[in-house]
Amino acid sequence: MTVVNPKSISGINSITTGSGSDNLLTIHTNDGTERVRVDSTGTTKIVTGIVTTLTATTGIVTTFVTNTAKVGGGVTISESGIEASGIGITVANINGSQISGRRNLIINGAMNIAQRGTSSTTDGYGSLDRFRHNHTGTDEAPTFSQADVASGTTPYTLGFRKSLKITNGNQTSGAGAADVIQVQQRIEAQDMATSGWNYTSTSSFITLSFWVKSSVAQNFYGYVRTADGTSQNYPFETGSLTADTWTKIVKTIPGNSNITFDNDTDVGAYVYIIPFQGTDYTGSVSLNAWANFASATRHPDMASTWYTTNDATFEITGVQLEVGPQATAFEHRTFGDELLLCQRYYRAVIGGTYTSFPLIGRKSGTDATGIVADMIIFPPMRVHGADLDGTLVSFGGYRRLSDNATANSTGTNTVKILNTAGSGYNYGSTVRFTFPTDTGSTNQQFAHISTTNRLHFQLQAEL
């Protein structure tokens, strides 16, 4: 080791370590404290003190390790992040995507909205908004419900209060090849096409992240599938989960030259998360890679432990799909904002008893059609290519405006969303009610009235 320890040095152009030394050059202050150390690789260590100017031979410091670095008078860089005070910051993008605005392509990922109800055994849409649940081949139907996230858990501390919970039924006949329990969300093609993801480039990414908890320790699968052109499939796994423990799953997904998204309101992508699928749908397939979708090989074979466990549970929350190669913090939206996004696809309207909705109907030319009344609702629901039948739970009745006579109901009342595709009137949705009646003549006007039988209807424009 070569030690330089004088009070002052002048006229020396270089210092060379001695023969047989350990190739270390150190500089000490007068009290013997080492201040600077240079090893044989050129790595320089400032032991203590303030470095006002640090320049490598080429003018670039390739590796700089410090606890805190201060740039100018306003920027401090540390392990905790970057703090800037009193200065402007120029940022080209965040995570390779937009700087602000809505990032999450998943709607209701925090599981807060459940317009249809908080529990369902339906195969299809039945409980939490935008999440379609499927089960086939089961001996006892699973229950899909909105559950509370327990306080003290990591998701709770991150702001999540609700989850989508699947409670398995009793599958007494075991795991069949065609048996399925899964959840999925379908995303409009136009939302994928205009998301900012350069989806045909392998160097452009989307990132899927979510929290998951299972009462049974095992590995689970899921996949992202495109719908347009030749359908592409990207399978992934959760890895072996610890029972009853929340785990965050992050999957960074590159683009692929075979991916196509039409700029329309049909399905563009599916995101599946799967507690169980039988061997009719599974087989030899590469994980974390795009390939043509094949129904018989959606993902690898699954363990049946969870499926054959009576009342086993599986929960997810915080589902986010965003453009960029990193999983950013979940985009929490207000309850009202999330509800409006959900109502593009489903909404229920319930009036009061002994009140009237602002419906003025016209008697059509036939008693079978009867009284026809239209209502405009905002925000508009998803544009579609045909009339969509709704569910009229109850309606009430009509009174004729000219004499207050009650319209006699002679058939089944109906409600539907009218087809507005291509009409240019897509900034509101038209809802049409029909009330078969033999009361009145063509073009007579009737006003809606509720008694104990109030107006209650449901509209659906799901993918």
Prediction pTM value: 0.83
- 408-415 long-range contacts (CB < 8 A, ≥24 apart) are 408/437, 408/438, 408/439, 409/435, 409/436, 409/437, 410/367, 410/370, 410/436, 410/437, 410/438, 411/368, 411/370, 411/436, 412/436, 414/389, 415/389, 415/390, 415/391, 415/457, 415/459
| Distance between CA atoms of residues 389 and 398, nearest Å | 21
What Å distances lie between residue 372 and 38, 112, 166, 356, 397, CA to CA? 89, 36, 42, 16, 12
Q: How high is the pLDDT of residue 76?
A: 78
Q: Tokens in use for 208? A: 């899927």
Q: Is pLDDT at 72 greater than 80 in this prediction? A: no
In this prediction, residue 70 has a pLDDT band, given cuts at 50, 70 and 90, of confident
Choose the weakest-confidence range: 35-44, 113-122, 162-171: 35-44
Q: Name residue 388's beta-bridge partners.
A: 417
Q: Which of 151, 169, 168 is nearest to 160 (CA)?
A: 151
Q: Is pLDDT at 163 greater than 70 in this prediction? A: yes
Q: Which residues contact 196 (CB under 8 A, 6 or more apart)?
A: 97, 98, 323
Per-residue pLDDT tens for 382-407?
977 789 999 999 999 999 999 999 99
Per-residue pLDDT tens for 200-231?
999 999 999 999 999 999 999 999 999 999 99
Q: Is pLDDT at 47 greater than 70 in this prediction? A: no
Q: Is pLDDT at 69 greater than 90 in this prediction? A: no
Give the whole-number percent of the chain exceeding pLDDT 90: 70
In this prediction, residue 30 has a pLDDT band, given cuts at 50, 70 and 90, of confident
| Distance between CA atoms of residues 314 and 307, nearest Å | 10
Q: How high is the pLDDT of residue 95?
A: 62
Domains and CATH numbers, the chain: 1-90 (no CATH), 119-342 (2.60.120.260), 346-460 (no CATH)
43-52, 99-108, 258-267: range with highest mean pLDDT: 258-267
Choose the weakest-confidence range: 56-65, 227-236, 365-374: 56-65
In this prediction, residue 59 has a pLDDT band, given cuts at 50, 70 and 90, of low
Q: Which residue has the higher pLDDT, 270 or 48?
A: 270
Mean pLDDT, the chain, rounded, equals 89
Q: How high is the pLDDT of residue 22?
A: 72
In this prediction, residue 38 has a pLDDT band, given cuts at 50, 70 and 90, of confident
Q: Is pLDDT at 4 greater than 90 in this prediction? A: no
Q: How high is the pLDDT of residue 62?
A: 62
Per-residue pLDDT tens for 403-460?
999 999 999 999 999 986 655 555 678 999 999 999 999 999 999 999 888 999 999 9
In this prediction, residue 71 has a pLDDT band, given cuts at 50, 70 and 90, of confident
Q: How high is the pLDDT of residue 386?
A: 86
Q: Is pLDDT at 56 greater than 60 in this prediction? A: no
Q: Which of 62, 34, 31 is nearest to 48 (CA)?
A: 34
Give the whole-number percent of the chain exceeding pLDDT 70: 86
**One-letter-per-residue 3-state SS of the chain:** CEEECCCCCCCCCCCCCCCCCCCCEEEECCCCCEEEEECCCCCEEECCCCCCCCCCCCCCCCCCCCCEEEECCCEEEECCEEEECCCCCCCCCECCECCCCCCCCCCCCCCCCCCCCCEECCCECCCCCCCEEEEECCCCCCEEEEEECCCCCHHHHCCCCEEEEEECCCCCCCCCCCCEEEEEEEEEHHHHHCCCCCCCCCCCEEEEEEEEEECCCCEEEEEEEECCCCCEEEEEEEEECCCCCCEEEEEEEECCCCCCCCCCCCEEEEEEEEEEECCCCECCCCCCCCEECCCCCCECCCCCCCCCCCCCEEEEEEEEEEECCCCCCCCCCCHHHHHHHHCCCEEEEECCCCCCCCCEEEECCCCCCEEEEEEEECCCCCCCCCCEECEEEECCEEEECCCCCECCECCCCEEEECCCCCCCCCCCEEEEEEECECCCCCCCEEEEECCCCCCEEEEECCC
Q: Which residue has the higher pLDDT, 114 or 93?
A: 114
Q: How high is the pLDDT of residue 15?
A: 72
In this prediction, residue 5 has a pLDDT band, given cuts at 50, 70 and 90, of low
Q: Tokens in use for 257? A: 């030259």
Q: Which residue has the higher pLDDT, 14 or 284?
A: 284
| Distance between CA atoms of residues 118 and 184, nearest Å | 17
Q: Which residue has the higher pLDDT, 454 or 149?
A: 149
Per-residue pLDDT tens for 280-332?
999 999 999 999 999 999 999 999 999 999 999 999 999 999 999 999 999 99
Distance of CA 376 to the CA centre of its chain: 30
